[in-house]
Structure 1
């Protein structure tokens, strides 16, 4: 009985393995490049991103210089991004830019690099619970801002330009908010000069952000704690001129 059970278990595993790759998704070595690509594209459109990656890589390895090679690379970028394999998505993007410096699809590639860098800095736990951390590394978010800026500077008429512009505004607000988190962290620990400098950075580089008012408040409080009366007075005057309804002046 024990032997029969083992045989049945092995048979079940074999059937499961066979079922994992439906017959119509197997790679046919006799297919044309276009046929292989269409098969991969159908799987990609169905949202089976990891399987699509396998098929697209098979097309790329068998037909690296064909007429569809560039489109295969573009689809791989998208598939890696959707599958959450962000390092490989960025590597594929950088490779495409290096090998295709004058291709008309570069607006899409820079757009995807911006999206991928943004995704690299996401923290689902923090976003779900609304938790912010002053020590959070936002280097990829800053890179995303640069990616979108390249897109807008080089391809202002791109169909991705409007969304890239909107994302840049959101990124600036997020970066400004992060700077203020750090400033508040320093302020609460008595590092007043560091807090003032963080506030000053927001005022100088994110001047169109609604968070400038809070940055000026931090600067005023920090200069006051440091006994820097002239700087405190000048900053308070800027705050009054730009935000006359601020709570300090009520």
Structure 2
């Protein structure tokens, strides 16, 4: 079956040469190897740590034997190899392509997991943009929701928690920036985001303390007292609570929860409740 395209290429070369074109035969004729041989060579290279060679073999399977079972396997292994090489955008693209082509296959969850891992590896410090944290959450939530019984769910959930913690940390960083500049409304909005949207992260404790400080500076005593009360209820041994308590006492106040406040409602969702 391979003879027909080779003859066709030979005729094309002959015609071009008669027109004076100097073509390199190696550029037109690719040495086609069996799909299983290429795939096994890719695995061998991968196991030996020769990642570039492995990637080349997996790509050759996909190129030379498209839509075969070995091409399917090579696509997901190629995504993994790209991830190992820190070629994250390439790994994401390969993973997406796999999920689109083979959404019901056994390896679809793994391909989606590779997408999430590739975003997770690119998460930056909280002082920088957190777009990759959001993308990590989206990608890993796909793993959890679409393949709830897969072996990758537990780690996907851990990565989601980490990324959410990063987003909360970013909100706190910006909130502290505004608080230092006495831009209290902007600061309170950021700390409120943490309490309402990231109540199970480690940053909620400080967020409540900062709300106590911010609301007190704004003259909103009831809200400040409620923030401190919710903080004390959830984290009674916290240094943040001790500091907030002393701050209120310095103004002749004490923690007192207003059940009608948004802080009281949000308090029911905090991890310490």
The normalised TM-score by structure 2 is 0.72
Q: Residues 36-185 of structure 1 correspond to what in structure 2 (within 5 A)?
A: 36-122=38-124, 132-134=125-127, 136-185=128-177
Unaligned runs of 5+ in 2: 1-29, 247-273
1:202: which partner in 2? 194
> Which structure's residues are more often helix, by fraction?
1
Once structures 1 and 2 are overlaid, which stretch shifts more, 56-65 or 166-175?
166-175
Counterpart in the other structure of 1:226: 218
Q: What is the match of residue 3 of structure 2?
A: none
Q: What's 1:214 paired with?
A: 206
Between 100-109 and 68-77, the greater mean CA deviation after superposition: 100-109
Provide the rounded CA distance (Å) in 2 between the counterparts of 1:139 and 1:157.
Answer: 28
Contact 2:115 2:139 in 1 (8 A): yes
Deviations 1:114-156 (A, max 9, x none): 100111224xxxxxxxxx553x111111111122222112222
The 3-state SS of whatever aligns with 1:65 is coil
Whether the 8 Å CA contact 2:133–2:164 is kept in 1: the answer is no
Which residue matches 1:9? Answer: none
Structure 1: 5+ residue stretches without partners: 1-27, 123-131
Deviations 1:185-241 (A, max 9, x none): 221122221211111111112212232110011111111222223322332232232
Q: What secondary structure sits across from 2:69 in the alignment? A: coil
Distance 1:170 1:144 in 2: 9
Ranges of 4+ aligned residues in structure 1 off by more than 4 Å: none
1:11-58 C-alpha deviation (Å, 9 max, x unpaired):
xxxxxxxxxxxxxxxxx9253110111111111222222222222212
- Asked if residue 249 in structure 1 is aligned to residue 245 in structure 2, the reply is yes
Give the count of matched residue pairs. 213
For the residue of structure 1 that corresponds to 2:121, the secondary structure is helix
Distance in structure 2 (CA, Å) of the matches to 1:30 and 1:211: 57
If the length of structure 1 is used for normalisation, what is the TM-score? Answer: 0.78
Between the aligned partners of 1:239 and 1:32, the Cα distance in structure 2 is 65
**In the aligned structure 2, how far is the partner of 1:99 from the partner of 1:66?**
12
Q: CA RMSD in A?
A: 1.9
2:164 touches 2:201 (CA, 8 Å); kept in 1? yes
Matches of 2:173 and 2:45 in 1, distance apart?
44
Cα separation, 2, equivalents of 1:67 and 1:93: 16
CA distance in 2, matches of 1:213, 1:172: 15
